[in-house]
A = this chain, B = another copy of it.
């Protein structure tokens, strides 16, 4: 057990950071210039599209993201301001609030997703064949399973 990364480790780990930084920068830029939403905001729209009735509790949205509840509360503020989402206090638990996708939000999400798929395919996925993509997926699944098993912090 040495104190520095080996060359192989340095490539596998260090460059992983660069890859995702490069891709996220591009995505952020595209979403901002074409749709005036941040990547985080788009992710919320996407989760609402996936959800039953196009609605999710603020708490759940926060837990599923990198943000805290307060951060998510304000992110929903901005989406509401932009008319992409509306709020509704929960019928079954008056403490909670739902964020609900509006028609406008749904439309924006659909178009933005098409552009994202285009961009990710063009700059990332197209560099690998089917078998390689499958292998990557297997790598990540292994990591995420291990993560949820060991420490659900």
Contact = CB atoms under 8 A, between A and B. Distances in A.
Interface of A: 1, 3-5, 8-9, 11-13, 15-22, 25, 66, 113-114, 117, 120-121, 123-125, 127-128, 130, 132-144, 146-147
B137 A135 contact: no
A3 B121 CA distance: 11
B8 A144 contact: no
B22 A144 contact: yes
User: Which of A22, A120, A143 has the most chain B CB atoms inside 10 A of its CB?
Assistant: A143
13 contacts: A4-B113, A5-B120, A9-B120, A11-B133, A11-B137, A11-B140, A11-B141, A12-B128, A12-B140, A15-B141, A16-B140, A17-B20, A20-B20
